[in-house]
Amino acid sequence: MVMRKLQLPLSQTQKVRFERAIERLQSLSSTANSDASVIVTDSIPVNHDDAFLKGHGTSEVDGELLATVCGVVERVDKLVYVRTLRARYKPEVGDIVVGRVIEVAQKRWRVELNFNQDGVLMLSSMNMPDGIQRRRTSVDELNMRNIFVEHDVVCAEVRNFQHDGSLQLQARSQKYGKLEKGQLLKVDPYLVKRSKHHFHYIESLGIDLIIGCNGLIWVGEHVEVRDPMAIDDQKDGEMISSSTESTGKEQSHTLLETRQTICRIGNAIRVLSNLGFTVTLEIIMETVNLSNSKNIDIHDMLGSEFHVVVAENEAERRRTRRKK
């Protein structure tokens, strides 16, 4: 992990507390994995008796595995590679991404993805609002703006790479599509780790959390995913989809309590990003619960004191976890 220099005014007491917390975190990190951080030409310890695979940022010279970039050593089964810090988003097929529509073109939408190339979502790769799998017609093309327009926030999956380096997206499931009634946040992509689960439903709060591999995170009011096979069996207004219009007046606005919860979770993510901590559901919710237990108002979460408290709490959490 990388702790950043906090760009907030700290009192002398807060400065001492923060530096102490950072020292504890660095000590725990170095104890847990002495070869975690490397610079160019640093040797990476490996067991040569067991077969291993050289990954990105590594090179074998005279039987020794060396780092060719600065970053953190990662090990996945037999693969050893160096993950560069503060790097741009490096997409992989199957990544869950969140983006914003910037153009509606012929049979496609262009999506900004916090990447050096835009993503392309073809009409043929989009799950239609009626949920029926069929060929796209000229009528569908004329109605594209009824699905997405410029500035809409959408969730999709990386399908493949095009010859010009742009990403081809797909949204063939009801869980993908337009995101409404929420907040879009941006963090450095290296703070997001790829996992099996990037969609999270925080049932106790009624909140949907989508952690995009590209560093864009969505926090919004929970939306029920409509089952296409059961559309005819549902009464009007009983279920809604993020890619269709609201079906009742009671869904035309978001409750104040829900909006406050969205803002609290959003500020928790901002604090974690400012501190350079990995953004996961577990750490986000722990930060939210910490703000509640300390009776910290939503707007005060972005202040210096709460940043110091979060750093201290993270150091204690890691120490406790290490003892176990």
What tens digit of pLDDT does each residue of 137-174 get? 888 889 899 999 999 999 999 999 988 888 999 998 88
- When divided into structural domains, the chain yields a total of 3
Q: How far apart are CA 158 and CA 114, in angstroms?
A: 13
pLDDT tens, position by position, 246-262: 434 445 688 999 999 99
Using an 8 Å Cβ cutoff, are 8 and 304 in contact?
A: yes
Q: Does one domain contain both 50 and 165?
A: no
pLDDT tens, position by position, 1-47: 444 556 788 899 999 999 999 888 877 765 555 456 787 888 888 87
CA-to-CA dists, residue 26 to 30, 208, 277, 279, 282, angstroms: 6, 33, 12, 18, 21
Q: Does one domain contain both 186 and 319?
A: yes
Helix or strand holding residue 307 (H, E): helix 304-323
Q: Does one domain contain both 208 and 168?
A: no
Mean pLDDT across the stretch 275-294? 95
CATH of the domain at 114: 2.40.50.140
Alpha carbon 279 to chain centroid, angstroms: 7
Q: Does one domain contain both 135 and 269?
A: no
Reported confidence tier of residue 95, pLDDT bands at 50, 70, 90: very high
Output the average pLDDT for the chain: 84
In this prediction, residue 217 carries a pLDDT of 98
Report yes or no on 232 lying in a domain: no
Listed residue (163, 165, 187) closest to 98, CA to CA: 187
pTM > 0.75: yes or no? yes
Q: Is the pLDDT of residue 296 over 60?
A: yes
Listed residue (195, 196, 245) closest to 223, CA to CA: 245
CATH of the domain at 42: 2.40.50.100
147: amino acid identity, one letter: I
Strands 207-211 and 199-202: antiparallel
Q: Is the pLDDT of residue 225 over 50?
A: yes
Is the CA virtual torsion 293, 297, 303, 305 positive or negative? negative
Report yes or no on 24 lying in a domain: no
In this prediction, residue 136 carries a pLDDT of 82
In this prediction, residue 38 carries a pLDDT of 80
Q: Which residues of 247-274 are buried (b: 16+ CB within 10 A; e: fewer)?
A: eeeeeeebeeebeebbebbbbbbbbbbb
Q: Among the listed ranges 53-57, 80-84, 224-228, which one has the minimum average pLDDT value? A: 224-228
Q: How far apart are CA 301 and CA 178, in angstroms?
A: 29
Burial tier of 80 (Cβ tally within 10 Å: 0-12, 13-18, 19+): buried
Phi, psi angles (nearest 5°) of residue 193:
-95, 140
Helices 256-275 and 281-293: crossing angle in degrees, nearest 10, is 110
Helix or strand or coil: residue 273?
helix
Mean pLDDT across the stretch 182-191? 93
In this prediction, residue 47 carries a pLDDT of 79
Q: Which of the two residues, 65 and 1, has the higher pLDDT score?
A: 65
Report yes or no on 50 lying in a domain: yes
315: number of Cβ within 10 Å: 19
> Structural domain of residue 147, as residue ranges?
87-179
